[in-house]
Structure 1
Amino acid sequence: MTKTLFFLSVFASGFAFAQEDLLKDIDTIQTKNTETSPPAFKALQIVTGQSTKLSAKNEWYVVIAHRFGDVSKGFKDFFGLDDASTKLGVIYGVTDGLSLSLSRETNLKTFEGAAKYKIVKQSENFPVDVVGYNVMAINTDLSTDNYPHLKFGDRLSYLTQALISRRFNENFSLQLTPSYVHKNLYEPMIEDKDQFLAGLGGRYKISKRISINAEYFVNFDNHSFYKNPLSIGMDIETGGHVFQLLFTNSQLNSDIGYLTNASGKWEEGQIFFGFNLYRVF
């Protein structure tokens, strides 16, 4: 694992510097309000969990997120390359403080619609950014063969989050993410209908275009079938987009699936490699 991360760091550094003539100075932020702090995060996600960054007014983002299979299965599944899950999505900035998104993930054939909105911005007068995030998901993979009395409402699940971040300096930011998940259809032997989680994530900048990110969520659900999601990643900033490489114990890309259905054990090498790619228009 250490050798892999080292290789990715070297590769990413060379990739970023090779495109220096194409890059905009992302760290230079012009604003009429000089008391307002720059964003705590450069990407819309810390790793898989959401960050307090929003798209600007009238900006369109195309999002491609990919998670390969469990690397611990070894050469049999070509270290996870034979078993992958992909999410495609779009995000639109309605205003500078409100964005709407729609995505679809191949795993469980899940559609998610979300709204992300600024509540308070960090400034000299307020110590943190506060952003709200609400999701409604539709699981289209459910079948009446397994659930004879299945209704449309059974396919729905909901997520509410408060994203609370602070940019401590140019290189270091932290975020606290209290979360609530409600599932209309659930398995009572392995999970609860209502689940409460608390997440902590951070970003540390190691060069002009690269940062190391990490996040961990504690699920206070009384059952223990699923694991707490733990992820580490790397942001690579290039002209027009942010590219993220990551390792996680949750293969699902959807917000609700990532938080509540992590199955891998880090201590046993059950890890999923993946990436997030954002392209802004």
Structure 2
Amino acid sequence: MSCSFLLLGFFAFSFAQEKDDLMKSLDSANVNEKITVDASNAFKALQVVNMQSTKTPAKKEFYLIVSHRFGALGGEDVNFFDNFFGFDKATTKLGMIYGMTDWLSFGASRLTPKLYEATVKYRIINQKEEGSPVTLVGYHTLNMDTSLKQAVYPNIMFKDKLSFSNQLLISRKLNDRFSLELAGIWVHKNLIDPTMESKDMQIISGGGRVKISKRMSINGEYGLRLNPVSSSTYKNPVSVGLDIDTGGHIFQLVFSNSQRMNDVGYFTNTSGDISKGGVFFGFNMYRVF
């Protein structure tokens, strides 16, 4: 719970610092300025909501990421006040991303509980470059679950702690307000519960962005697991969010049926049943340096 308070305090402090610059920017904006469609940025943030967007960092840009998901908002096992509005069962992600070039970036994150994630993202082609109607991006992740201790699991091997995802992201900016994205995703895990999942999972995920003001947009996404195990209780992930561009960072409010924030877990281990109140509220914050 103390971690949640610290994160909320950090956000409040950062937002206050950006407020003056934001208001100055809004006051000085030329309302008569002609707006053109920048097809290279279908999405403002590096994520649509939870899934990756086709946006890539610019060369030498450094991103600090703070993400947080509170406990479920409802459900039979949820005591809303006893869990202090979800604070007691919250999860956190701290990470960083660095743009090596304008088309290639690397990232590393630490997530609760005891999970590490390394990422690489590269843009293959931009919309309208060489006549392309879409932006095409590759994205790969490597996860290591350090909660699997040999003292608890005597036969555990290092490779059992690893899982991977490979993703091909395709987006199109239709106009200045609307953008769409489709992703083909393959997830592999070295250690699984065969009654719940397969070692190899294929997912098709779709997302979109609707701009509602100069600095705000509503985003949504849905992931369809193509080969789920029949006895599995995991769900297809679905999320909606609100992007807020404060000038210095992108802040995303998130509602999702998944509390997972790593790609492997999000696409294959979503547990929330929306019909029973299995919805998790949280945020993503990207600070660019």
Q: Could you say which TM-score interval applies, normalised by the shorter chain?
A: 0.7 to 0.9
Structure 2 residue 50 is matched with structure 1 residue 42: no
Q: Which amino acid aligns with 1:21?
A: K
> How is 1:1-281 mapped onto 2 (pairs within 5 angstroms)?
19-22=22-25, 37-72=39-74, 73=78, 74-107=80-113, 109-123=114-128, 125-223=131-229, 224-281=232-289
Q: Which amino acid aligns with 2:120?
A: A
Question: Which whole-Å CA distance do the structure 2 matches of 1:160 and 1:64 have between them?
Answer: 23
SS of the residue corresponding to residue 89 of structure 1 reads strand
Asked if the contact 2:37–2:175 (Cα under 8 Å) also holds between the matched residues in 1, the reply is no
Shift of the alpha carbon at 1:79? 2.7
Asked if the contact 1:232–1:247 (Cα under 8 Å) also holds between the matched residues in 2, the reply is yes
Q: Which amino acid aligns with 2:71?
A: G
Question: Which whole-Å CA distance do the structure 2 matches of 1:38 and 1:121 have between them?
Answer: 6
Q: Between the two proteins, what is the percent identity of the paired residues?
A: 50
Asked if the contact 2:37–2:176 (Cα under 8 Å) also holds between the matched residues in 1, the reply is no
Question: Which whole-Å CA distance do the structure 1 matches of 2:166 and 2:253 have between them?
Answer: 26
RMSD value, Cα: 2.1
Question: Which whole-Å CA distance do the structure 1 matches of 2:123 and 2:194 have between them?
Answer: 35
Question: Which whole-Å CA distance do the structure 2 matches of 1:238 and 1:35 have between them?
Answer: 20
Moved more, 135-144 or 196-205: 135-144
Residue by residue, what CA displacement relative to the aligned partner does 1:177-205 show, whole Å, maximum 9, x if unpaired?
A: 11000001111111000000000000000
Moved more, 258-267 or 271-280: 258-267
Shift of the alpha carbon at 1:17? 8.3
Question: Which whole-Å CA distance do the structure 1 matches of 2:142 and 2:95 have between them?
Answer: 14
Shift of the alpha carbon at 1:267? 1.3
**Could you state the TM-score of these two structures normalised by the residue count of structure 1?**
0.87
Shift of the alpha carbon at 1:22? 5.0
Residue by residue, what CA displacement relative to the aligned partner does 1:16-59 show, whole Å, maximum 9, x if unpaired?
A: 9873315798xxxxxxxx99723100000000110000000000
Gaps of 5+ in 2: 1-15, 30-35
Query: Which residue is 1:30 aligned to?
Result: none
Moved more, 127-136 or 116-125: 116-125
Residue by residue, what CA displacement relative to the aligned partner does 1:58-114 show, whole Å, maximum 9, x if unpaired?
A: 00000000000011122221231221000000000000000000001013x110111
**How many aligned positions are there?**
259
Asked if the contact 1:140–1:155 (Cα under 8 Å) also holds between the matched residues in 2, the reply is yes
Shift of the alpha carbon at 1:265? 0.8
Question: Which whole-Å CA distance do the structure 2 matches of 1:247 and 1:35 have between them?
Answer: 29
